[in-house]
């Protein structure tokens, strides 16, 4: 156990260790052990409590005798020792318990421990536990029926065996791949003083281009080529967003950029940036291009963990460089409200703070390991009006539309708590009318429910008139901020997902409204709320969007399109279509029924999910494991063509695939595009956000922009797989040889995920490969950690007599991947 070392002198220091004992305890429960030791010189008073966050619900009846674990709310749990005495120095507590589901990786371990002393003293943050390795089968597999192997070195070597490094001339120069690009081998030069002419409407694009050229030399041999920017027709291209088309014509003395609109000119500049060498060299040639889909987005969740202003601006820059054009800004959820609303200061004064305050100031409880300190990184924070306007202007200059999301009626606990505190404060001052003006909860609600994220009070009481007033106020202020930024507000996303069963059933206000309207089903109550939201947004000239549950009803044993809102301008983001869960064709059902659909498929486009089944890979995996190849290999208009196994590695029933509803002709036109999701539960730091986002974001950009590769049109599965593999090999080379080095050269280099090598030792010879050809591999045989000064792996290498080999992949800055350790007797990838 590693003791806590960063506590003030005289404060308790507690060493914490955690281990998954077995996932085979029950079909849907595992056993774990928690060890805690008082490493301070002082006794901890009787009545102490240790709190922690865990995504795996502890079963209270399973806890070791003499101890109790209570579920506080959400993912917060509290361990105590009823009847126990003081916790003496050096004394340890060992607690075993069972929890729902399974634990196979570091993400499944509890985290964010803090002590509530029994003497009433201030809470003490203890940090995260030391996590025991996952080495035995019952620790590495979710249940006995888990058929998916651990992604160890041997597994990776086999998976990547068909990949090989391509000559530079066969690797695409532009990502996403353009519709047409031809170069003749000659070069021209640009300098930072290159003559630049442009239409007046292209001042923004010209400014961005001039900034891009600022790093080049001021003088080049023979003089710089001229730059011409213009708006005009772009012929011989096809796609779903004709105004984004462009022509990039590079001649010996002139570079001409023509866009069908300023956005097209901007897209051309991004391609120019990828072609431009560090010395200002450009290949002579011509590029014609336009995107396949008009909607190409990234969703960033800042409610679970706050991302500061510079992190958001940096992500927008990365999106723009790969021609992504929608930023879905998930600003609110149960765990945080992140945008200041001047008329309702409690939303951020309370709803943007997580922790345990010493003065009793209300705030939200710690979540996802944010700890007791309300100033801890990620747990607390919000955007001021000025911050938000800066984000809007930054995005708009890069032709990215910002779609703010305010999640309701579920996933709304931060707002519910903030408005409840406002209610109590004004009620205490003798202002009951003002207190109830923005109330979001029924004080007499006795509903019993538990959300997917284990909350018991996170749903808005949608029968209250004050709810409409709240929404109207928030929407009005958001519209004002967009006007201040000089940016059009086209769409607001209202969430609408995962309302738990049982919500509203115990609310007198909801029951009264249902009786008044003659409703017998809470679905009718929910539909009425959706209609009211849509009406409020329409009054402000704003389109309405929501997650797929907004447009679904439960019928005939599964979720079916709710025809009430079909064709009513509701844009639906469909996520819950992981293989084996029974909703695989949900997006197509909704599109065929008349809804405009954005594909947000969990099994391909959830970038918070772990890249692979390995104990050290961060991220959830409820919909499977998602790496860059999953995003790249997605067939948006025929997902079944490239269907993989379910999350447990089991092959899908062919009859299930055969019954999936295909898109009809109108439905195909209603698929607006693709969006990658960066949910924030595990993005505690900017480095972790980088790791989760890239290079998967680039795979998404390729699939959303580039032409349909036609895999689904090949009737033979083997032929289809071979053609997809060929395309993946080229794209993997593009990432390894071009795009990741380009990210390394950024002003603020990205901490993207470097794939660990695959490796085996056969007959005393080391064989290794990597998922992204072009990345350097280095290894050691003396037990030391590999670095760029270690032996480079370029071909099978003898390692006779070595007891251990350690390998890693490296970027151009010398940053390494997770180290792979091969213990040669026996050969295993040590977690």
Question: Taking the model in full, what pTM does it have?
Answer: 0.96
pLDDT tens for 536-581 read: 999 999 999 999 999 999 887 788 999 999 987 889 999 988 888 8
Residue 652's pLDDT is what? 86
Residues paired with residue 100 on neighbouring β-strands, in sequence order: 29
Mean pLDDT of 140-150: 94
How many beta carbons lie within 10 A of that of residue 581, not counting itself?
15
Residue 584 a catalytic site member: no
Buried b (16+ CB within 10 A) or exposed e, 697-729: bbbbbbbbbbeebebbeeeeeeebeebbeebbb
Transcribe 146-174 into DSSP letters.
--PPP--HHHHHHHTTT--PPPGGGS-SS
Tokens of 733: 């080379």
Residue 265's pLDDT is what? 98
Residue of 331, 407, 330, 323 lying closest to 673 (CA atoms): 323
Residues paired with residue 297 on neighbouring β-strands, in sequence order: 326, 675
Share the mean pLDDT of the chain: 95
pLDDT tens for 589-626 read: 999 999 999 999 999 999 999 999 999 999 999 999 99
How many beta carbons lie within 10 A of that of residue 528, not counting itself?
16
With tokens 């809102």, the residue in question is 565
Strand 326-330 relative to strand 295-301, pairing: parallel
Sign of the alpha-carbon dihedral angle for 628, 633, 639, 640: negative
pLDDT band for position 6 (cuts 50, 70, 90): very low
What share of the chain has pLDDT > 90, as a percent? 88
Least-confidence region, from 114-123, 383-392, 541-550, 591-600: 114-123
Catalytic residue among 251, 472, 498, 531: 498
The pLDDT of residue 9 is above 50: no
The pLDDT of residue 526 is above 80: yes
User: Taking the CA of residue 629 as centre, how many other CA atoms within 13 Å lie in the half-sphere pointing to its CB?
Assistant: 22
pLDDT tens for 687-735 read: 999 999 999 999 999 999 999 999 999 989 899 999 999 999 999 999 9
Mean pLDDT of 330-356: 98
Residue 307's pLDDT is what? 98
Residue 297's pLDDT is what? 98
Residue 572's pLDDT is what? 97
Least-confidence region, from 82-96, 598-612, 814-828: 814-828
Buried b (16+ CB within 10 A) or exposed e, 621-633: bebbbbbbbbbbb
Show the domains of the chain with their CATH numbers. 14-146 (2.60.40.290), 149-175+730-831 (2.60.40.10), 177-289 (3.30.379.10), 295-333+376-412+443-729 (3.20.20.80)
Strand 671-678 relative to strand 765-769, pairing: unpaired
């Amino acid at each position: 156990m590693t003791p806590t070392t960063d506590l003030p002198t005289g404060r308790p220091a507690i060493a914490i260790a955690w281990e998954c004992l077995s996932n085979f305890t029950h079909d849907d429960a595992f056993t774990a052990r928690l060890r805690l030791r008082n490493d301070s010189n002082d006794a901890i008073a009787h009545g102490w409590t240790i709190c922690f966050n865990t995504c795996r619900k502890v079963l209270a009846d399973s806890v070791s005798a003499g101890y109790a674990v209570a579920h506080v709310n959400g993912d917060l749990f509290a361990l105590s020792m009823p009847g126990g005495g003081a916790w003496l120095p050096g004394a340890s507590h060992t607690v075993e318990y069972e929890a729902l589901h399974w634990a196979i990786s570091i993400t499944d371990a509890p985290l964010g421990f803090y002590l509530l002393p029994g003497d009433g003293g201030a809470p003490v943050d203890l940090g995260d536990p030391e996590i025991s390795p996952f080495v035995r089968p019952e620790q590495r597999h979710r249940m006995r029926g888990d058929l998916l192997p651990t992604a160890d070195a041997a597994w990776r070597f086999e998976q990547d065996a068909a990949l090989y490094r391509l000559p530079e001339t066969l690797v695409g120069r532009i990502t996403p791949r353009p519709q047409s690009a031809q170069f003749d081998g000659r070069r021209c030069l640009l300098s930072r003083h290159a003559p630049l002419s442009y239409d007046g409407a292209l001042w923004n694009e010209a400014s961005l281009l001039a900034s891009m050229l600022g790093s080049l030399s001021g003088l080049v041999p023979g003089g710089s080529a001229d730059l011409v920017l213009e708006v005009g027709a772009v012929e011989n291209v096809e796609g779903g967003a004709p105004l984004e088309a462009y022509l990039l014509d590079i001649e010996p003395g002139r570079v001409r950029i023509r866009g069908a609109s300023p956005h097209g000119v901007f897209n051309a500049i991004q391609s120019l940036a990828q072609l431009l060498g560090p010395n200002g060299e450009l290949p002579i040639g011509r590029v014609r291009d336009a995107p396949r889909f008009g909607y190409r987005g990234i969703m960033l969740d800042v409610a679970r963990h706050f991302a500061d202003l510079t992190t958001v601006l940096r992500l927008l820059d990365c999106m723009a460089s790969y021609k992504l054009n929608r930023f879905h800004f998930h600003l609110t959820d149960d765990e945080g409200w992140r945008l200041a609303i001047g008329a309702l200061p409690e939303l951020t004064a309370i709803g943007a703070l997580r922790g345990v305050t010493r003065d009793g100031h209300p705030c939200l409880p710690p979540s996802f390991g944010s700890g007791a300190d309300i100033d801890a990184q990620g747990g607390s924070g919000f955007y001021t009006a000025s911050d938000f306007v800066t984000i809007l202007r930054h995005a708009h200059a890069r032709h990215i539309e910002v779609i703010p999301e305010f999640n309701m009626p579920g996933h709304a606990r931060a707002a519910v708590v903030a408005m409840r505190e406002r209610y109590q404060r004004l009620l205490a001052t003798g202002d009951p009318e003002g207190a109830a003006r923005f109330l979001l909860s029924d004080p007499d609600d006795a509903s019993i429910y538990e959300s997917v994220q284990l909350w018991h009070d996170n749903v808005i009481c949608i029968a209250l008139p004050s709810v409409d007033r709240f929404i109207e106020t928030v929407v009005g202020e958001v519209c004002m901020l967009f006007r201040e930024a000089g940016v059009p507000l086209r769409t607001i996303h209202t969430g609408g997902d995962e309302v738990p069963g049982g919500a509203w059933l115990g609310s007198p206000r909801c029951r009264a409204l249902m009786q008044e309207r003659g409703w017998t089903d809470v679905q009718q109550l929910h539909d009425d709320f959706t209609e009211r939201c849509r009406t409020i947004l329409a009054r402000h000239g704003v389109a309405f969007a929501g997650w797929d549950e907004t447009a679904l009803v439960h019928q005939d044993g599964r979720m079916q399109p709710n025809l009430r809102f079909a064709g009513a301008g509701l844009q639906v983001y469909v996520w819950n279509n992981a293989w084996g869960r029974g909703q695989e064709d949900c997006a197509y059902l909704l599109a065929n029924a008349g809804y405009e659909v954005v594909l947000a498929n969990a099994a391909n486009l959830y970038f918070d999910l772990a890249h692979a089944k390995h104990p050290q890979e961060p991220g959830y995996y409820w919909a499977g494991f998602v790496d860059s190849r999953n995003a790249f290999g997605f067939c948006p208009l025929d997902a079944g063509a490239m269907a993989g196994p379910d999350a447990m590695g089991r092959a899908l029933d062919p009859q299930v695939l055969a019954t999936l509803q295909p898109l009809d002709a109108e439905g195909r036109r209603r698929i607006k595009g693709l969006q990658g999701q960066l949910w924030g539960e595990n993005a505690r730091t900017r480095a972790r956000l980088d790791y989760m986002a890239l290079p998967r974001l680039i795979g998404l950009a390729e699939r959303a922009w580039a032409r349909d590769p036609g895999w689904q049109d090949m009737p033979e599965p083997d032929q289809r797989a071979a053609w997809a593999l060929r395309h993946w090999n080229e794209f993997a080379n593009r990432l390894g040889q071009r795009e990741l080095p380009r990210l390394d050269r950024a002003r603020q280099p990205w901490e993207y995920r470097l794939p660990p090598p695959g490796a085996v030792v056969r007959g005393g010879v080391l064989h290794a490969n990597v998922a992204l050809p072009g990345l350097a591999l280095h290894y050691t045989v003396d037990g030391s950690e590999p670095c760029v000064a270690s032996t480079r792996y370029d071909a099978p290498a003898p390692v006779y007599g070595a007891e251990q080999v350690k390998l890693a992949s490296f970027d151009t800055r010398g940053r390494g991947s997770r180290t792979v350790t091969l213990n040669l007797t026996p050969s295993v990838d040590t977690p």
